[in-house]
């Protein structure tokens, strides 16, 4: 344990994998997270069964990987720990049809994201543990780092502790998939869900793409060439973000020209001004009061009309055309793979 952080961080020595010795883990879904959890667990000596729906396109891959495969219901019945690694939007259905009828007293229902529990879309019975083990990384990295003897950082949370052993079990699981090699932070379902949604809407996915599109449109509307606009506001983003990822804001400022640094430090606030701050506060408000969740759940119940429309508009934005053509020039760039 390291004390410099504002929260507890757990490493290998803080977790006892033997807790999993006499348990079966049912991994439902074999996508990004599912394939990585299942294989890392198996390599750690844990008894794993992968639950797949009828006609799943992942069956062949799971078979090739040597996994024990069952239907989602059978897997949930066999599992002492049932891990929900199907997409968040289908989890309520899978829970109702395959999991709930097969949960026994003392079982664990485990998640990698808190949405469905936090917003009441899944309401587990009181006699099971409800936990979260969430690698802070896409599945292929969870798998690749594990094979190298390393791991990706992760989160653990306990929503319901019926047995009194929920946290120790979650830490054991985090160890078995490699996360305690890198460090695991304790959080709550509420904190994980709300910060995740806020981050992807305000900054990562929503904020960054809007900034790029508005930057592109500003240049093109002023008569500059779309190709130049694409390079300046989209293509170069990766270089900047890589520097920040590696060494923080100062490594980025140190690497760009002094002109870029002075211009950025003085002009960034023209764009991200008080109104941007208010926009972020509104996003957080709608995440916290459940308005966003309600809207997204209803989108999914009505075949996603707005989602489809917005997606099509995004696809048809000029920056996608121009970018598609220009990215072909970078075919040699292995970092783009």
Query: Annotated active-site positions, please?
Result: 113
Are 136 and 153 within 8 A, CB to CB? yes
Q: State the minimum distance, in angstroms, from the CB of residue 152 to ligand NAD.
A: 10
Cα separation of 286 and 215, whole Å? 26
Q: What is the DSSP letter of 128?
A: S
Are 185 and 7 within 8 A, CB to CB? yes
> Exposed, middle or buried by CB within 10 Å (0-12, 13-18, 19+), for 156?
buried
Helix runs in the chain, H state only? 32-43, 59-64, 72-78, 91-94, 115-118, 139-147, 166-176, 179-182, 189-198, 206-221, 226-230, 237-255, 258-271, 274-288, 291-301, 305-315, 318-327
Are 219 and 228 within 8 A, CB to CB? yes
Residue 194 engages Mg ion in binding (rule: CB under 5 A) = no
Q: How many residues bind ligand NAD (CB under 6 A)?
A: 21
86 binds, among Mg ion, ligand NAD, none (CB under 5 to 8 A by kind): ligand NAD
319 binds, among Mg ion, ligand NAD, none (CB under 5 to 8 A by kind): none
Stretch that binds ligand NAD, among 6-14, 23-31, 238-246, 247-255 (CB under 6 A): 23-31
Query: Contact letters (x/-) for Mg ion, 69-88, by CB under 5 A?
Result: ----------xx--------
Q: How many residues bind Mg ion (CB under 5 A)?
A: 7
Residue 91 engages Mg ion in binding (rule: CB under 5 A) = no
**From candidates 91, 151, 196, 252, binder to Mg ion by CB under 5 A:** 196
C-alpha count within 13 angstroms, C-beta hemisphere, residue 67: 31
Query: Contact letters (x/-) for ligand NAD, 62-101, by CB under 6 A?
Result: -----------------------xxxx-x---x-------
3-state secondary structure of 288: helix
Residue 323 engages ligand NAD in binding (rule: CB under 6 A) = no
User: Rule CB under 6 A: which of 118-157 touch ligand NAD?
Assistant: 134-135, 138-139
Nearer to Mg ion, 63 or 263 (CB): 263
Tokens standing for residue 166 = 């929920």
Residue 201 engages Mg ion in binding (rule: CB under 5 A) = no
Q: For binding to ligand NAD (CB under 6 A), which residues are involved?
A: 29-34, 53, 56, 58, 85-88, 90, 94, 112-113, 134-135, 138-139
């Amino acid at each position: 344990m390291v004390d410099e952080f504002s929260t507890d961080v757990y490493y290998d020595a803080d977790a006892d994998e033997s807790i999993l010795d006499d348990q079966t883990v049912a991994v439902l879904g074999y996508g990004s997270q599912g394939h990585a959890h299942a294989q890392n667990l198996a390599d750690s000596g844990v008894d794993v069964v992968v639950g797949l729906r009828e006609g799943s396109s992942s069956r062949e891959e799971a078979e090739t990987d040597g996994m024990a495969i069952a239907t989602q219901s059978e897997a949930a019945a066999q599992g002492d720990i049932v891990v929900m690694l199907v997409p968040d939007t289908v989890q309520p259905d899978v829970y109702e049809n395959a999991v709930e009828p097969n949960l026994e007293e003392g079982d664990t229902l485990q998640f990698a994201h808190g949405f469905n529990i936090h917003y009441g879309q899944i309401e587990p019975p009181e006699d099971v543990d409800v936990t979260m083990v969430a690698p802070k990384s896409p599945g292929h990295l969870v798998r690749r780092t594990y094979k190298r003897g390393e791991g990706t950082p992760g989160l653990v949370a306990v929503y319901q502790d019926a047995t009194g052993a929920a946290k120790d079990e979650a830490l054991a699981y985090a160890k078995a998939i490699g996360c305690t090699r890198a460090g695991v932070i304790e959080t709550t379902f509420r904190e994980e869900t709300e910060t995740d949604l806020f981050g992807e809407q305000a900054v990562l996915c929503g904020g960054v793409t809007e900034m790029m599109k508005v930057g592109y449109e500003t240049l093109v509307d002023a008569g500059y060439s779309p190709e130049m606009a694409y390079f300046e506001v989209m293509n170069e983003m990766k270089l900047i973000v890589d520097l920040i990822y590696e060494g923080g804001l100062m490594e980025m400022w140190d690497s760009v020209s002094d002109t870029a640094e002075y211009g950025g430090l003085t002009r960034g606030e023209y764009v991200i001004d008080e109104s941007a701050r208010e926009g972020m506060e509104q996003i957080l408000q709608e995440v916290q009061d459940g308005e966003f969740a309600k809207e997204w759940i209803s989108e999914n119940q009505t075949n996603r009309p707005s989602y489809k429309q917005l997606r099509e508009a995004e696809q048809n934005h000029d920056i996608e055309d121009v970018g598609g053509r220009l990215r072909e020039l970078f075919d040699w760039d292995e970092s783009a793979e």
